[in-house]
Amino acid sequence: MLKRDDIVKLVRVVAETHETEIGCDACFERLDIFAETELSGVDASAAMPLVGDHLDKCADCRSKFEALLTALRGT
């Protein structure tokens, strides 16, 4: 049952929903290219908007991207 303090969380994600979104597999497929694009100084989300959108919405995939980016910057 939806509670009063669930509303903001739910409506925020509903508001950001697009008809076309890629899934986690398609995001992971492009994650290495996305990370290298970001490292090159280019706005990766502008270059690959569907991947950027997925990373904004999916905490699982975002954690992998952030760890990869940190590793690439630090090694």
Partner 1 sequence: MRERTNEQWLTDLRGPNPDEAFADLYDLLVRGLRVGLGSYGGGVDANVGDFAQEALIKITGNLDSFRGESRFTTWAQKIAMNVALTELKRRRWRDVSLHELFARREAANREPADTQLSPEQLALQNTVLQELRRMVGEELTDRQQEAVVAVILEGMPVSEVARRMDTNQNALYKLLHDARRKLKRQMEASGLSPQEVLAAFEEG
Instruction: Pick the closer one to partner 1 by CB: 46 or 59.
Output: 59
Q: Is residue 4 a contact point for partner 1 (CB under 8 A)?
A: yes
Kindly write down the DSSP assignment for every residue of 6-63, as one continuous string. Answer: GHHHHHHHHHT--SS---HHHHHHHHHHHHHHHHTTS-HHHHSHHHHHHHHH-HHHHH
Integer Cα distance of 55 and 18 in angstroms: 14
Tell me, residue by residue from 14 to 53, as one string, x for binding to partner 1 by CB under 8 A and - for no binding: xx-x-x-x-xxx--x--xxx-xx-----------------
Q: Which residues bind partner 1 (CB under 8 A)?
A: 1-15, 17, 19, 21, 23-25, 28, 31-33, 35-36, 58-60, 63-64, 67-68, 70-75
